[in-house]
Structure 1
Amino acid sequence: MAFTFSSYQPAPEFSKSAAYFSMEFAIDQALKTYSGGLGFLAGSHMRSAYELKQNLIGISILWSYGYYDQGRQQDQTLRVDYTEKHYSYLQDTGFTFEISIHSAPVKVKAFYLAPEVFGTCPMFFLTTDIPENDYLSRTISHHLYDQDLAARVAQSILLGVGGGKLLDLINRVPEVYHLNEGHGLPLAFYLYEKHGRQLEEVQKRLVFTTHTPELAGNEEHGMKLLEDMTFFAGISGQEVRELGLVENERLNYTLTALRMARIANGVSEVHGRVARDMWGQNAGICPIIHITNSQNGTYWRDAPLHKALNSASSSAVKNLKARKRELKQELFKEVANQTGKIFDPEALTVVWARRFATYKRANLILNDFARFEQLVSRTDRPVQVIWAGKPYPKDYGAIGIFNELIQRSKPLKNCAVLVGYELGLSALLKKGSDIWLNTPRFPREASGTSGMTAAMNGSLSLSIPDGWIPEFVRHGENGFLIPLADLTLPDADKDRIEAAGTLDVLENEILPLYYGKPAEYWKIVQTAMREVEPQFESGRMATEYYELMYNAS
């Protein structure tokens, strides 16, 4: 064998073996196997599993071209680029094996990421992009979330069946299989076949995390396509129907996972309630609890900033301000590099940065553009605004918003839109911002973990009370809330009201504190930094997965 587990000894309290299947992992800037929040969450989970020495293995796909590289057209609008990726630190396991896709054999090669490389639990990455396959089979592992429907179905088979088969081949058969989102659903059918076609045997072993109430995130496809693609790991479509998993000749990934798992979770307290409301009326589903997403402090927090936080009370604020100024200057170098604009480290800096999707409303603050323009043009209490994030390459609505932000911010010297939103830029933005703006349409943000790592680095949330925010933010004490509009109103009216509320809080509460009462402002910063951990540090989350999911009877 080309790899060994000998350097990784699980702690006794986490001795139950588990495998965590995820389509994406944001482990390190250098490993381009992620697109956004789902990957950031999964990466933090793997890091905390390592720190806790949990008996956990990560399973994913080695994307030959990653998600995509975000560049600019000549007019600075978004350009999608694809560059082939190579990783010398991934070890060839020596295992190449077959899975069936579209009733044809496809070869799968497995690579190993050792714990000591990036500080994660042991991880495996699967690829079909090898010479033994024809070109079409090779493309299965080319692009994360491929735009082609058949390719995406094939990717689910690769993750679920390929991952299950690999664990059998290396003789690391876990007691618990954890599906992080529904992408790896074919794993459930692989286990069903393996364990004598007894659903209760699958339910003994399978747990499931649902991450979004968005329809696009809860895949559903026609049975003919799935049968043609050999989605069910050797199980006939008729038997799948007899299991009561098919409705109107369509199979919903999330609903099927809820019926084949013994327990599932939403990713915040609000999302747990939303998920139970969404799926609870369906027969045969497992219990849905909530385990709020969290992020790994070791990776995300700025050590000098936390040293300043914990310095003598008489000098803490002075030290925090000095370090925060340095972090802002580091961010502003990137702003100048990309946009040619010089930002002021003394000015209040607001950042909106996350995966671009229309429901996240990146442009909400521009709803009353005249008012926004007046805000960012004033010199007595200057405000700087930065946006960043990656839209899905075929989400033309989100791309349109991204390009609109670029065009409207060009003439504004205090506004910038950055490209390349990966781990490195995300860290710069969280450490260099004063206010972390979060404006999803309630209740569509399941968790929204970016604000956690911002708070770890002295950036205060200004947020719609959705996802994790109601569990943390106390308005004016450790962050700020945007008042919700009446949920029965049309979306356009809600946007107008919540946009006005965003500017109201910013102009009438945050700016007077930042410029007029700095001692009170920095007290709020200190409170946020102290309170966000350990409650929203992923050691808590990883422990809860063992206590509430893996060890649940």
Structure 2
Amino acid sequence: MPFTFDAYQPAAEYSRSAAYFSMEFAIDQALKTYSGGLGFLAGSHMRSAYELKQNLIGIGILWTYGYYDQARQQDETLRVDYVQKHYSFLQDTGFVFDISIHSAPVKVRAYYLAPEVFGTAPMFFLTTDIPENDYLSRTISHHLYDADLAARVAQSILLGVGGGKLLDELNRTPEVYHLNEGHGLPLAFYLYNKHGKSLPAVQERLVFTTHTPELAGNEEHGVKLLDDMTFFAGLGLDEVRHLGLVENERLNYTLAALRMSRKANGVSAVHGRVANDMWKNNAGICPIVHITNAQNGTYWRDKQLHAALEAKDVDALKARKRQLKQELFKEVANQTGNLFDPDALTIVWARRFAGYKRANLVLHHFQRFEELFKRSGRPVQMIWAGKPYPKDYAAIGLFNELIKSTRHLKNCAVLTGYELGLSALLKKGSDVWLNTPRFPREASGTSGMTAAMNASVNLSIPDGWIPEFVRHGENGFLIPLANINEPEAHKDDVEAAGLLDVLENELIPLYYDEPANYWQLVQTAMREVEPTFDSGRMAQEYYELMYNG
């Protein structure tokens, strides 16, 4: 029987068909196809598209070894493990087709994730790790964000060209192709060839979401390498130059996507302004609007917490929160041997480990931090968690340094295994969700949204989505920004002091001395974070502003 997915019937108001290409999707703990925030965002988008019955298809890559499994060495420092993944819930579509990499054919097999499995829009995952390929070709889909440059370029071809060809194999012609970040850029060249080498025909169909608010973070490579690897889907290098996409013999993925798309978006109001400022001097780019990232409340919120909120039962809210803290603290004890107190104020810093996110900012004035965390009477507890890129040795060093520098503090813990399951435990079990990026490098951030849904108070640098939500002292707390023109070391010093000031003078006294006001703030945040930062709003805006607009 031939493969079909016609059982999924979109709602009439979403008649315009779209395909969403993303290098990673965080759908469920059981499906290891993500590394961090980009995947969490894409996963929530797929869930809300399903809830709204949007006419959307998700296309990603089936990573044989996932991102990586985070574990501990004997001395408790980070260990990277690669374990092969198998998924009985994915359906083999039977489609096997060729794409060209290094001018040689590579076989691609497509698997289907049915909507009813996890409650998502229909999704397809591509793999080259099949017997029909040689070993090198099989490794293309082994590791998400492979550290090898040629492998990463091949992965982009797999996502972009492979995804485009799959839709043709399925006899599906979306009216809109949506690139979530620049990884799938070869799709644009595939569409260019498909539609008679007409740039306006590509621009009519292609939209693009950028997530990177600094020039250095936007991927670019020499066009000779890209041409050698067939990145341009059969298009000659002279033709690529003629399109005005090459500068100094290099191709910037984001800039090329902005020139080949009808419309693009940043992922917060701040990021929309930053993105327009970054690219405004480049000719031929499309308009850049902003659609603030969001998360799926159905998946993330604790039902009992929200039942208590709806009933205006503060005692039930407190009791459930205490229970959720105890559940988190079982994992803390299991990993570290530290026994945490469910009545103590508990701060969590948890997200992808990267230097600009400054996991150690709270430790910058270490003596002051230590004194604050050793005081009796008003106990404070701190948990860190997150995955560095496996080859980001600076971030791995920072992760290990956190373990070493706080090992003597029984009320501090660094956890491994930061995936969907642990992320949910931390958001539901924390009192304060700490966010310390270097402004303005956080395009959006979403972890604080799901924390707020679960009665955790945001304490954050005013970057990304935070200025759209937090009102200091009313539904969260802001860390004062240093002068943006000061040296980085000075900014770290000022903002670390400001962070400790807010903790010591505002948040800790509120929690212990004014519990009624603290819980009022918590409830205000829970009510205000949804529906504005629920991904139903976001998915709706994509249709209104990007697909139909």
**TM-score range, shorter-chain basis?**
over 0.9
* Structure 1 unaligned regions, length at least 5: none
Deviations 1:10-45 (A, max 9, x none): 001111000000000000000000000000000000
SS in 1 for 2:49: helix
C-alpha distance in 2, partners of 1:547/1:5?
A: 25
Q: CA deviation at 1:280?
A: 1.1
Question: What is the match of residue 299 of structure 1?
Answer: 299
Aligned match for 2:362, one of 359, 362, 365: 365
Q: Give the partner amino acid of 1:500.
A: A
Q: SS where residue 112 of structure 1 aligns?
A: strand
SS at match of 1:351: strand
Hey, what's the Cα distance between the residues in 2 that align with 1:217 and 1:181?
A: 12
- For 1:215 and 1:396, the matched residues in 2 are separated by 22
Check the 8 A contact 1:2/1:91 in 2, yes or no: no
Residue type of the alignment partner of 2:545:
L
Q: Partners of 1:279 and 1:356 in 2: how far apart?
A: 27
Query: Which residue does 2:491 correspond to in 1?
Result: 494
1:139-158 matches, cutoff 5 A? 139-158=139-158
How far apart are residue 213 of structure 1 and its match?
A: 1.6
> Which residue in 2 is equivalent to 1:48?
48
Partner residue of 1:208? 208
The 5 A counterparts of 1:531-546 are 531-546=528-543
Aligned to 2:81: 81
- Could you say which residue in structure 1 is the equivalent of 2:399? 402
Corresponding position of 1:483: 480
Q: 1:335 aligns with which of 332, 337, 347?
A: 332
> Which residue identity lines up with residue 430 of structure 1 in the other structure?
K
1:338-382 CA-partner distances (Å, limit 9, x unpaired): 000000000000000000000000000000000001111111110
- Alpha-carbon separation, structure 2, partners of 1:488 and 1:182: 30
Query: SS of the residue aligned with 1:545?
Result: helix
Letter in 1 for 2:532: Q
Q: What are the residue-to-residue correspondences of 1:197-276 with 2, within 5 Å?
A: 197-215=197-215, 217-276=217-276
Cα deviation code 1:423-463 (max 9, x no counterpart) = 00000000000000000000000001000000000001000
The whole-number CA distance in structure 1 between the counterparts of 2:497 and 2:3 is 57
Q: CA deviation at 1:216?
A: 5.5
Tell me the secondary structure at the aligned position of residue 417 of structure 1.
Answer: strand
CA distance in 2, matches of 1:216, 1:264: 19
Q: Distance in 2 between matches of 1:138 and 1:151?
A: 11
Return the match for 1:467 from 452, 464, 467: 464
Q: Distance in 2 between matches of 1:8 and 1:415?
A: 48
1:214 CA drift (Å): 3.9
Deviation at 1:75, TM superposition (A): 0.7
Q: Which residue of 2 aligns with 1:390?
A: 387
The one-character-per-residue Cα deviations of 1:305-327 (angstroms, maximum 9, x if unpaired) are 0001111x4xx211110000000
- 1:127-166 matches, within 5 Å, as 127-166=127-166
Matches within 5 A, 1:3-22: 3-22=3-22
> For residue 445 of structure 2, what is the aligned residue in structure 1?
448
Q: Is the 8 A contact 2:90 2:113 kept in 1?
A: yes
2:66 corresponds to which residue? 66
Indicate the residue corresponding to 1:173 in structure 2: 173
Look up the SS of the partner of 1:110 in the other structure.
Answer: strand
Q: Distance in 1 between matches of 2:214 and 2:421?
A: 27
Which AA in structure 2 matches 1:343?
A: F
Deviation at 1:217, TM superposition (A): 3.8
Q: How far apart, in 2, do the equivalents of 1:114 and 1:17 lie? A: 18
The Cα offsets for residues 87-108 of structure 1, whole Å up to 9 and x where unpaired, read as 0110000100000000000000
> Aligned pair 1:110/2:106, yes or no?
no
Distance 2:310 2:260 in 1: 48
CA contact (8 A) 2:457 2:475 kept: yes
Aligned to 2:435: 438
User: Which position in structure 1 is the counterpart of 2:319?
Assistant: 322
Report SS of the residue matched to 1:277. Answer: helix
Matched ranges for 1:343-362 at <5 A:
343-362=340-359
Q: Is the 8 A contact 1:3 1:91 kept in 2?
A: no
SS of aligned partner of 2:50: helix
For the aligned residues, what is the CA RMSD?
0.7
Cα distance in structure 2, aligned partners of 1:230 and 1:222 = 13
- TM-score normalised to structure 2 length: 0.99
2: CA distance, partners of 1:462 / 1:336: 25
Per the TM alignment, residue 3 of structure 1 is displaced from its structure 2 partner at its CA by 3.8
**d(CA) in 2 for partners of 1:109, 1:403:** 39
SS in 2 for 1:4: coil
Partner of 2:182: 182
SS at structure 1 position matched to 2:165: helix
- TM-score using structure 1 length: 0.99
The CA deviation at 1:215 is 4.5
Matches within 5 A, 1:186-197: 186-197=186-197
Contact 1:329–1:345 at 8 Å: present in 2 too? yes
Q: String of CA shifts for 1:381-430, please: whole Å, max 9, x gaps.
A: 10000000000011111111101101011110000000000000000000
Tell me which amino acid in the other structure corresponds to 1:37: G
Q: Distance in 2 between matches of 1:407 and 1:186?
A: 44
Amino acid at match of 1:349: T
Distance across 1 between alignment mates of 2:271 and 2:308? 35
Q: 1:285-313 CA deviation, whole Å, 9 max, x = no partner?
A: 000000000000000000000001111x4
The change in CA–CA distance for 1:2 and 1:420 in structure 2 (over 3 A counts) is: farther
Question: Aligned AA for 1:330?
Answer: E
- State the AA in 1 paired with 2:455: G
Instruction: Give the match's secondary structure for 2:257.
Output: helix
SS in 2 for 1:145: coil
After superposition, give the CA deviation of every residue in 1:114-173 in whole Å (9 maximum; x if it has no partner). Answer: 000000000000000000000000000000000000000000000000000000011111
Equivalent position amino acid for 1:508 in 2? N
Number of paired residues?
549
